[in-house]
Amino acid sequence: MARYIFITGGVVSSLGKGLASAALGALLQARGYSVRLRKLDPYLNVDPGTMSPFEHGEVFVTDDGAETDLDLGHYERFTGVAGRGTDTVSSGRIYTNVLEKERRGDYLGKTIQVVPHVTNEIKDFLRIGDDEVDFMLCEIGGTVGDIEGLPFFEAIRQFAHERPRGECIFMHLTLLPYLNASGELKTKPTQHSVKELQSIGIAPDVLVCRSEHPIPVKEREKLALFCNVRPESVIAAYDLPSIYDAPLAYHKEGLDQAVLDAFGIKPAPKPKLATWEDVSDRVHNPDGEVKVAIVGKYTQLEDAYKSIAEALTHGGMSNRVKVKVEWVDAELFEREDPAPYLEGFNAILVPGGFGERGTEGKIKAAQFAREHKVPYLGICLGMQMAVIEAARNLAGVSDAGSEEFDHEAGKKRFTPVVYHLKEWVEGNRTIKREETDDKGGTMRLGAYNATLTEGSQVAEIYGSTSISERHRHRYEVDIKYREDLEAKGLKFSGMSPDGRLPEIVEVPDHPWYIGVQFHPELKSKPFEPHPLFREFVKAAVEQSRLV
């Protein structure tokens, strides 16, 4: 049976609970324990897959096809443990499950209440897979005291009460504001946050305090006294130059030891931190710098491309260079020549997305990269834009486009080289979709296999002709244009195992020009960079030497 660590937040909601959870998971792994990280989101009442990135940031996709919160991306990057659909739950999912059970008659006609029905549903979620790992880290989204979170806090209170003593602890993250006028850290907000937590029956065992300044011994002792925790369990969380410093920084502050002490685990195995020391060294001691342009339409909110930004950082680590990312609004190129904006970059990346807005600019970015021999990586929609660009400018299909844009506009304007995917094979079954289907969870989602062409650039990059990557899309490149496009130099070097769906295109007569229908960024980790990002950054390094 797993030991449970419940991670809550106070004062403000954006306290980096996800990062603290991920770093703690990495530290427990370094001591030889197995971990799984869970996210409970009281605020999310809808499917993350239907939300605009402006609303909720990136949608992270797991191997089993779940569309989740971007915190699961942090968990995977820091622990290497592949996320699952059962690693996250929203209030919307909890209430939906309760209502479905009521309609089936599972409650035998009883009046449905928050306690016990909703709280029991949350507890059932917490128990999933608890016999698989040593520690289950469960982050409760948001802030203690908010009305949305009350059923979740009540559920974890009950859960800890029902388990044997010593199997559950609570870790609370708060902010210590610094007042410049008086030159002091204020502990009152933390005291009140803990008081709010105690009022609903939860007492923190470990206190993690975000602070821009060192926390004096006097303030630590005050927090320990008034928040009823041991002085050594008051952990400082300072701002860091890189998120990948977090495991070492938290270890230095004693977070993992405080957690093990709270469980009474003595003596605890010593941590092996060589991997994270190497990661930190690669982040802070690069041998050079490359500039990469990300041409997208969600550039105002960088969290929309969180995994891509981190995967580029990982690619930089593997090549011992710093990757300087600049976000370029694709709509800009619909009005202006892209050359003056893109000439200073060593590589260009066009990410995924939905809708027509900005796509003509992305097509121009793909054209610039192809014609000027600049390394190019197109992901999902970025691959489709590269195919449309090649169809227009190489294969003579001047009105090439995507059915997605015609569906959005409500009229036919393009010759569709990209079409709505209505049928595909998943394992031993065939999945069918219609254009009128619900938007959430109806795409080609999760891990699918692909077969690479022997001798192709991507087969060399992967070191294999058989790969598995995560997908999230409902439109696909039409294979009927393959012969014409390959005759003009755009090779289809990766296909689905049945040969029906294009997975990868590349331009052999180019230093590095690759488009992929899947999302390789979702599987990249600092200690195991994804091969495509590793080689993309390597190509950018070589390009920088030519300039």
Check 139, 519, 530, 535 and give the catalytic one. Answer: 519
Burial zone of 132 (CB within 10 Å; 0-12 exposed, 13-18 middle, 19+ buried): exposed
What tokens were used for 143?
């802030």
Contact 524, 533 (CB under 8 A): yes
Q: Please name the amino acid found at residue 88.
A: T
Give 441: exposed, middle or buried? Use CB within 10 Å, 0-12, 13-18, 19+: middle
Residue 11 three-state SS: coil
Among residues 71, 19, 67, 12, the alpha carbon closest in space to that of 40 is found at 71
CA distance 24 to 271: 12
Tell how strand 178-179 and strand 184-185 pair up.
antiparallel
The DSSP secondary-structure symbol of 361 reads: H
Identity (one letter) of the amino acid at 227?
Answer: C
- How many CB atoms within 10 Å of residue 309? 19
User: What is the DSSP secondary-structure string of 355-367?
Assistant: SSTTHHHHHHHHH
Active site residue 172: no
Instruction: Report d(CA 256, CA 271) in Å as an integer.
Output: 9
Q: Residue holding tokens 């012969």?
A: 483
Among 353, 404, 412, residue whose Cα is nearest residue 383 = 353
Q: List 185's β-bridge partners, or say none.
A: 178
Helix axes 255-263, 17-30, angle to 10 degrees: 70
Is the distance from CB of 326 to CB of 345 less than 8 angstroms?
Answer: yes
Q: Write down the catalytic residue from 67, 389, 521, 535.
A: 521
CB atoms within 10 A of CB 348: 27
Interatomic CA distance for residues 218 and 221, integer angstroms: 5
Separation between Cα atoms, residue 99 and residue 130, nearest integer Å: 25
What per-residue string of b and e applies to 362-398 under the rule 16 or more CB within 10 Å gives b? Answer: bbbbbbbbbeeebbbbbbbbbbbbbbbbbbbbbbebe
User: Given 168, 209, 227, 380, which residue is catalytic?
Assistant: 380
Mark whether 168 is an active-site residue: no
3 state SS of 229: coil
Give the closest residue to 47 by CA, choosing from 476, 402, 437, 520. Answer: 437
Amino acid sitting at position 345: F
User: Measuring CA to CA, which residue among 235, 167, 241 is closest to residue 207?
Assistant: 235
Residue 473 falls in the annotated catalytic set: no
Catalytic residues: 380, 519, 521
